Structure 1
Amino acid sequence: MQLSLNYALAGLALLAPNALALLRFSCSQLVVERLDPLVNPGVTASPHVHQVIGGNTFRPLMTPDVLDIPSEATCTTCTFADDFSNYWTAVLYFRARNGTYKRVQQKPNVGFEAAKGGMTIYYTPSYNGGKVTAFKPGFRMIVGDPTFRTEQQASQFRQLTYTCLQDAMTRTGETKDMPKKPCPAGIMANIRFPTCWNGKDLDPPDHSSHVAYPTSGTFESGGPCPATHPVKIPQLFYEVIWDTTPFNNPADWPEDGSQPFVWSYGDQTGYGNHGDYVFGWKGDALQQAMDTNCNINCPQLKSQSIQQGNQCSVKDTVGEDIDGWLTELPGAMPVTDASGNIIY
């Protein structure tokens, strides 16, 4: 697969600021626990573990009728200080030969070494010009499906991939499924959200039908938006690096040579890769950034240091052991195959 264009173009933007605009910034880890205010609103202890970044209003119930995120948030783990959005993904586990599980830690991207794990976040406007509409208050979305276990299913989401890092700068060789051999510098999950909006729904019941990919090609190739979703929105993109290097000894991998990493939702294929987003930028800050073609750094936006972002946190409301050697995945989540059969 082609290299991650967003990452490569970020480097080009530093050299040719008039050629490209994008935001690329660090968000440290906020909390790791079994909460999912989109899929399981109001539920304390969702079915599987998530790692969350962003503003400190993250909680079991975050519907707009009970929470005005920018007004109530007091800090964010992101380096743009007016971004109180929340971004989250599932958590990766290593399954040992004896059947126990150990959480894989995240590590920061190149240039963000002070961050506590977390993610690198991108907001990229249109590559071929034209108006880009920033997300509105109350907007939220999900991309991917944790129940998917086949390549055919995963193909519905064109740009959810993995990179087996040969070194910290590897950006080639993306795959839809989990890497099949030890990765010298870890595994990067790449989560790119759709870039076309229907212009009316902020959060439909399925949290995804209000957005769509271009009718052809990809966002980077300038494919047009479908008539049903005519409004161009920024491409939201997560890079999440999982430090799998402590588990790279082949002697610790399954005896049949299969890969040993399992998502917290019980998927060892990788096809269930997914990400969640709740918009929480203050005022029109994100729209300003898109309109003024901010290039990596954005003087129009209020910033803070990574160290300041590291100080923001929320209390773990579930309170369970997710870090020791576990006899089962948190929440007793089973590992299943493409037919839904329980493997472990």
Structure 2
Amino acid sequence: MRFLLLAAAAIAPAVEAAATLRFSCSELVVERLDPLVNSGMSPSPHLHQVVGGNTFNATMLEDIPSLATCTSCTPTEDFSNYWTATLFFRARNGTFHRVNTFGNELGFTSAHGGQTVYYLSSGKVTAFKPGFRMTVGDPTFRTAKQLQAKYKYMDFTCLATPMTRGGQTLNFPNKPCAAGIMISLRFPTCWDGTNVDSPDHQSHVAYPAGNRCPSTHPVTIPQVFYETYWDTRPFNDKSQWPADGSQPFVWSFGDATGYGIHGDYVFGWKGDALQRAMDTNCNSDLFANRINCPTLKTQSLDQANKCTMKPSVKENLDGWLTELPGACPLCKTV
């Protein structure tokens, strides 16, 4: 539990009451849509891996809980969508192969890919309002200095075993990782109290300063935290890595450094379900798909695995590709 407690401690002053809600969200769809940054555009410039409710579309302007018919997350009242860019392996010959996600082996082995999602708190928090959305990270960043100056708690872990914690880096690992690569994204925990979105999808939220929310963003919200396990194990043969010895992985938007790491979130919990869970300090067993939260309804991993969508953009995403899906200027590897 150490890594959970450290993450929770980073968001607010320590108090006795704390929520550490942790659950699995299986893969919903791998899709070239982005209803936040490229709202209404189909296809969007680069590929994403998406989990959550089956209302995911190019705009996400609807009343999500009333229209969704299933969710790939184990809490059945969570129809939110969580997504990140997709990871690719770039072979020595210049071709690309999509890297799959796999179920977190700390309790969610049978999940069909996707992400582990956390909602963390220390003390009283205000749950997100209908229509709330936000992003974290910047796909144009290519240096550690850029990333560290603006964002916190976004990193890569080269997994020697599923239990590996520590040794995080801000860039892609530069060696084969025996148990895959875990990528962690943590969103800000302070809200301006008024706007459910902003033009850049980030200005309405902020990180705390000295464990306190700034006066411009006085409302403490739960920390949304993703862990994504990427199955890089099939690509550990260094004879297929670039001849110059550099690491071979690249984000779907063309970043071969890793510093462009980013994530997107659209709130879609039904009614006051999330607020109830935070108010009653719900938590989860680390090694089992069990949420200790009587106020929430849950489903099994097998049921969550059944909630999927067909991609709306018809393109080849399997096998070896000569270019990244989209082939746009931003998608050129740098």
TM-score by length of 1: 0.89
Q: How far did 1:20 drift? A: 4.2
Letter in 1 for 2:142: R
Identity among equivalent pairs (%): 64
Q: Is the 8 A contact 1:176 1:271 kept in 2?
A: yes
Q: CA deviation at 1:116?
A: 0.7
Map residues 61-140 of structure 1 onto 2, 5 A cutoff: 61-63=59-61, 67-109=62-104, 110-126=106-122, 129=123, 131-140=124-133
* Superposition CA RMSD, Å: 1.7
Contact kept in structure 2, 1:4 and 1:172, CA below 8 Å: no
Q: Tell me how far 1:315 sits from its aligned partner.
A: 2.1
Deviation at 1:113, TM superposition (A): 1.2
Candidates 253, 266, 272, aligned match of 1:265: 253
Quote the offset at 1:285 in angstroms: 0.2
Name the counterpart of 1:300.
Answer: 295
Check the 8 A contact 2:250/2:333 in 1, yes or no. no
Q: State the SS of the aligned residue for 2:320.
A: coil
Query: Unaligned regions of 5+ residues in structure 2, if any?
Result: 9-15, 285-290
The partner residue of 2:204 within 195, 198, 210 is 210
Give, in angstroms, the shift of residue 21 of structure 1.
2.4
Give the AA of the match of 1:124. L
Stretches of 4+ aligned residues off by more than 6 angstroms? 7-10
Q: For 2:139, which of 134, 142, 146 is the aligned residue?
A: 146
SS in 1 for 2:176: coil
What does the per-residue CA deviation read over 1:105-161, in whole Å, with 9 as the maximum and x for residues that have no partner? 1111021111110000000112xx3x2001110000000011111111111111110
**Aligned residue type for 1:234:** P
1:225 counterpart = 2:223: no
Q: Match for residue 242 of structure 1?
A: 230
Is residue 287 of structure 2 the alignment partner of residue 289 of structure 1? no
Offset of residue 9 of structure 1 = 7.8
Instruction: Confirm whether residue 330 of structure 1 aligns to residue 325 of structure 2.
Output: yes
Aligned residue identity for 1:123? Y
- Aligned pair in 2 of structure 1 residues 235, 148: CA closer, same or farther (>3 Å)? same
Deviations 1:286-344 (A, max 9, x none): 000000111212111011111111111122100111122000000014577xxxxx557
AA matched with 1:116: H
In structure 2, the residue matched to 1:191 is: 185
How many residue pairs end up in the alignment?
318
Q: With structure 2 as the length reference, what TM-score do the two structures score?
A: 0.92
Structure 1: state its 5+ residue gaps: 11-17, 217-222, 337-341
CA distance in 2, matches of 1:333, 1:247: 25
Distance verdict in 2 for CA 1:272–1:237, change over 3 Å: same
Could you tell me how far apart the structure 2 residues matched to 1:4 and 1:90 are? 28
Q: Name the CA shift for 1:331/1:4 in 2 (closer, same or farther; >3 Å).
A: farther
2:4 maps to 1:6: yes
| Contact 2:255-2:333 within 8 A present in 1 as well | no
Is 2:283 the counterpart of 1:278? no
Letter in 2 for 1:136: K
